[in-house]
Structure 1
Amino acid sequence: MEMLRSMQSRYDLDQALVLCQMNGFKAGILHLYEKAKLYHQILAYHIDQGDYDGVIKLCEKFGAYDPNLWIQALGFFARAEGASQHLATVLQHILSFGSGRHDL
């Protein structure tokens, strides 16, 4: 993981991602997706894993850059069982953007 995080490391992003995926290295996959600004891929990963908290954390971190992340999260939580608290969180954020408040 240190090699992936190091600014001096020179590696092909696509090759590194394939290696991480082949070996199931979650931390490496997510780091490389973030480095490549593939936020929707990160969201899809968390959704596939059923990681509700990961979905919320991603949206909180990058939702201001890409508000569509919140919309995708809304769709996911609307269909998910036992996700009413997460759904409420997503709705709060979406409503805050609509009202011009971004402090939630």
Structure 2
Amino acid sequence: MARTRVYKSDVKAAIHETALDLRETGLIDKHTMRRFDESCLTPVRKFTAEEIRALREREQVSQTVFALYLNVTKDSVSQWERGDKRPAGPACKLLSLVAEKGLSAIA
């Protein structure tokens, strides 16, 4: 199954896809491809419990609605906001997108 990439913009998506094709043909080395990844793909960062709560409150949604957007359980959002657990993988990516572009970016 192919991984879905989330780009900073449509232009960067086109550039990155071209670079991927060039990498597959051997015209771009691994180091150069990493630089394209860093500049084109949306960065993922770790969120604290307070940041997650503030993000949800900024978007003016309940834990239940926020969980539906992120495709996780309400209990997961609650545990993140209490600091009992931390989001990982796709949830971190989605939180990064929401932080940068708002909840409408993943709607």
- Give the greater-gyration-radius structure (CA): 2
Q: Which has the higher contact order (CA 8 A, sep 6+)?
A: 2
TM-score above 0.5, yes or no: no
TM-score after normalising by structure 1 = 0.28
TM-score after normalising by structure 2 = 0.28
Question: Which structure has greater helix proportion?
Answer: 1
